[in-house]
């Protein structure tokens, strides 16, 4: 049996981008994580240790967004890799990283990258 755990709208602040100003000023980011696993044992026994701890997912996203990168692709890859390493029971993983109001010469609400199994 498989189950879905989704953690959406993790709001963080980071300093990513190719422009020097982005390294100084920073910007707002949103991380969404979609995970397929089997939490049957956790559900049957009400045992957090048998499932994916939401707080750990948040802490991984927060730690990786705190490390400056020029590309959000690199940040997303780091989050994905850490989650795969932390939770070996994952069947599938989908990480989406969104940069809000990117500094561009035209009006863009957001840009995002995704990594999926």
Is the whole model's pTM more than 0.85, yes or no? yes
Q: pLDDT by residue (tens digit) across 37-47?
A: 999 999 999 99
Predicted confidence at residue 1, as pLDDT, reads 84
Average pLDDT of the chain is 96
Look at 113 and 2; give whichever has higher pLDDT.
Answer: 113
Tell me the domain boundaries of the chain.
3-116
Cα distance between residue 44 and residue 28, in whole Å:
39
Cα distance between residue 83 and residue 90, in whole Å:
9
Active site residue 99: yes
Predicted confidence at residue 104, as pLDDT, reads 85
Q: Which fold has domain 3-116?
A: GTP Cyclohydrolase I, domain 2 (3.30.1130)
> Of the listed 50, 99, 110, 116, which one is catalytic?
99
What is the Cα Rg of the chain in Å?
16
């Amino acid at each position: 049996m498989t189950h879905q755990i989704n953690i959406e709208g993790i709001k963080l602040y980071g300093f990513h981008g190719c422009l020097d100003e982005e390294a100084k000023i920073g910007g707002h980011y949103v991380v969404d994580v979609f995970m397929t696993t089997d939490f049957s044992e956790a559900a049957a026994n009400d045992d957090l240790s048998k499932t994916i701890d939401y707080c750990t997912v948040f802490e991984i996203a927060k730690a990786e967004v705190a490390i400056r990168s020029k590309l959000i692709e690199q940040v997303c890859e780091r989050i994905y890799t850490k989650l795969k390493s932390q939770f070996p029971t994952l069947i599938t993983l989908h990480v989406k990283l969104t940069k809000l109001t990117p500094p561009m010469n035209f009006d863009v609400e957001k840009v995002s990258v995704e990594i999926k199994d």
